[in-house]
Chains A and B, each alone.
Chain A
Amino acid sequence: TQLLEQSPQFLSIQEGENLTVYCNSSSVFSSLQWYRQEPGEGPVLLVTVVTGGEVKKLKRLTFQFGDARKDSSLHITAAQPGDTGLYLCAGARTGNQFYFGTGTSLTVIP
Chain B
Amino acid sequence: EAQVTQNPRYLITVTGKKLTVTCSQNMNHEYMSWYRQDPGLGLRQIYYSMNVEVTDKGDVPEGYKVSRKEKRNFPLILESPSPNQTSLYFCASSYRGVLSFGGELFFGEGSRLTVL
Bound-state Cα–Cα, A40 to B44, Å: 18
**B102 adjacent to A97 (CB under 8 Å):** no
Specify the chain A residue showing the minimal Cβ separation from B104: A45
Number of interface residues of B (CB under 8 A): 30
Indicate whether A50 reaches chain B with its CB closer than 8 angstroms: yes
**Residues of chain A with a CB closer than 8 A to B103's CB:** 92
**B43 adjacent to A43 (CB under 8 Å):** yes
Indicate whether B75 reaches chain A with its CB closer than 8 angstroms: no
**Residues of chain A with a CB closer than 8 A to B107's CB:** 41-44
Specify the chain A residue showing the minimal Cβ separation from B97: A96
- Report the contact-size class of chain A (Cβ under 8 Å from the partner): 20 to 34
Bound-state Cα–Cα, A2 to B90, Å: 18
- Identify the B interface with A (CB < 8 A): 4, 31, 33, 35, 40-45, 48, 50, 56, 58-59, 90, 92, 97-99, 101-110
Which 9 pairs from chain A and chain B are nearest by CB? Answer: A42-B107, A100-B43, A100-B42, A98-B98, A102-B42, A92-B98, A50-B101, A103-B42, A45-B104
- Identify the A interface with B (CB < 8 A): 2, 4, 6, 9, 30-31, 33, 35, 40-45, 48, 50, 88, 90, 92, 95-103
